[in-house]
Amino acid sequence: MLRIKAVFIDLDGTLGYYEHGDLAEVVGKMYANWLSKEFGVDYQQTLSVLLNAVKIVKTKPSLDKSVAQQILENLSWELRVPIEDLDNATDIFYKQKFVQIRENYKARKGAKEVIEYLFEKGYKVVIATDPIIKRFGVLKRLEWIGLLEYPYCFVTSAEVCRAAKPHQIYYLDLLEVCKVKPHEAVMIGDKLENDIIPAKRLGLYTIHLGREMKENKAADHVIEEIEDIINIL
């Protein structure tokens, strides 16, 4: 019998989804284009620097700084733009450009029912999204799909995390903040490399939302719809 105390659940692709492709990729290109125009830097150069900065926080993060700080410092150094100017431009980007994806960001069928079920059962619930987007963008996505007003144990974002998926520090920090041991937590997500494999290596129970991967053996459970979680937990 499972003795789960905390549920870490991914956002994009699990609770919600962007209708026109991978959200991180789309937002990354939007952000690079924004910075390119704001500071007169070549778009391809800006995108390349941004992608490299994201790669670093996923593989070799500086654990004494937030993901947001690490990315901004990398951009500032490579693009020769003051970090204060980048920070201000980033905040404007979220308020003026990021919000434009709202029309095409949707909730998975049953997502709200699952979140309500988890709280009714007394689990500590973490919105465990890949923290390369700032808190404003994470909270907006939760708001758009009707999942903002819940007493989450933690909501990951670029400002409050020091490593991004699939780095194990990301998962160790979630365990620490919720004060649970690996075998007392479950990670639920749609990406094997980001959500399932690193969590499984640390000893977490794992549930993979893999509609076309019934034969997947990496996760403890594979489900086809988010509502299937209710039959497991």
**206-215 pLDDT, tens per residue?**
999 986 555 5
Contact 2, 233 (CB under 8 A): yes
pLDDT in tens, 65-100: 999 999 999 999 999 999 999 999 999 999 999 999
State the pTM of this model. 0.95
Distance of alpha carbon 177 from alpha carbon 109, whole angstroms: 29
pLDDT in tens, 168-198: 999 999 999 999 999 999 999 999 999 999 9
